[in-house]
Amino acid sequence: MAALRYAGLDDTDSEDELPLGWEQRTTKDGWVYYANHTEEKTQWEHPKTGKRKRIAGDLPYGWEQETDENGQVYFVDHINKRTTYLDPRLAFTVDDNPTKPTNRQRYDGSTTAMEILQGRDFTGRVVVVTGANSGIGFETAKSFALHGAHVILACRNMSRANEAVSRILGEWHKAKVEAMTLDLALLRSVQHFAQAFKAKNVSLHVLVCNAAAFALPWSLTKDGLETTFQVNHLGHFYLVQLLQDVLCRSAPARVVVVSSESHRFTDINDSAGKLDFSRLSPSKNDYWAMLAYNRSKLCNILFSNELHRRLSPRGVTSNAVHPGNMLYSSLHRNWWVYTLLFTLARPFTKSMKPSLEDTINMPTFTEKATLDCG
């Protein structure tokens, strides 16, 4: 090697030649990342060129992509009966030339969840999404599932939840996705869900508190609380408390609370500045659907902030998310006035494929031999 270095031939003519100790890998959706075996870390950029790359084209005929028990992607050549951790398409990568700005505001109203998660491998991660049979919840669950996560759709209507599971499996038959019963309007159902989830003896890396009710006529739940308040806030509050120990054991973990800008247009304090509990679960005479929704969303914000303060030292972060102004969904279905309003506003609203904030870091370093293993 010393002689080669002396002659100036210690490197090849290819700028893509990896330095000693580096390995090129791919994620499920074809993005290339680089593992440094010396420092046991990964990164998206090529260590020499600084470029990001992705795989071009489909797998060659006879090849299939699989994932081992450690979450590592490998490839099976059914024709030659061999297995390798090297993607056969690595010789045909193309440079990733992002068109979006690289400053802090990387995403905009047209960015989809799939774009946010592009290049990320969630294999081995467990995600629970409430209200995931339609709307924002469905797109969120689908995006996580198509990137390798084990996703649980926590829904009240199991028929619609199972249909949602089938739709996701229709896009990728190997997606790890299932439905579980969760009725936030019934605290006993929340308790049963938490017990059933814990019985699975799995981790919980991301909990998305998405389910919500909007424009409901006044009613009380079986627990004696106003329905909008219980479904939008209290049910999720109770769910997080019941799963808090699992989240902490799974750290780093995250709770995402889907709130709304409408939290700004209300108050839950009385004239003396103290919390007025009667405003949280008002009587029928004091009830206004929009105001009840706004107050529940304010509770979401306050809860998320306090949860982050308490649990972030234990590796569990919490974020409250505003999905977009007048985002068109089925949330308005309970009253024709709101349906008309949302219909008129639809041309000016965001897509139903929501933008998710970055929730999980790069693929973690797991040492794997790159030689053929079959």
Active site residues: 293
Q: Read off the tokens for 141.
A: 């669950």
Structure-token match 């529940």, residue found: 296
26: tokens are 């791919």
Q: What's the alpha-carbon Rg for the chain, to the nearest Å?
A: 24
CA distance readout (Å), 296 to 4, 155, 160, 230, 236: 70, 19, 25, 8, 11
Per the listing, tokens 């989830």 go with 197
CB atoms within 10 A of CB 39: 10
Beta strands in 44-203 (DSSP E): 53-55, 63-67, 73-77, 82-84, 93-95, 126-130, 150-155, 176-181
Given a contact cutoff of 8 angstroms between Cβ atoms, the answer to whether 322 and 260 are in contact is yes
Handedness of CA 154, 307, 111, 116 (dihedral sign): negative
DSSP 275: B
Burial grade of 4 (CB within 10 A; 0-12, 13-18, 19 or more): exposed
- The three-state secondary structure class of 74 is strand
Query: What whole-number distance in Å separates Cα of residue 265 and Cα of residue 274?
Result: 18
Beta strands in the chain (DSSP E): 22-26, 32-36, 41-43, 53-55, 63-67, 73-77, 82-84, 93-95, 126-130, 150-155, 176-181, 206-209, 253-258, 316-321
Among 148, 187, 185, 141, smallest CA distance to 163 is for: 141
| Measured CA distances, 18 to 31, 87, 345, 370 (Å) | 17, 16, 52, 14
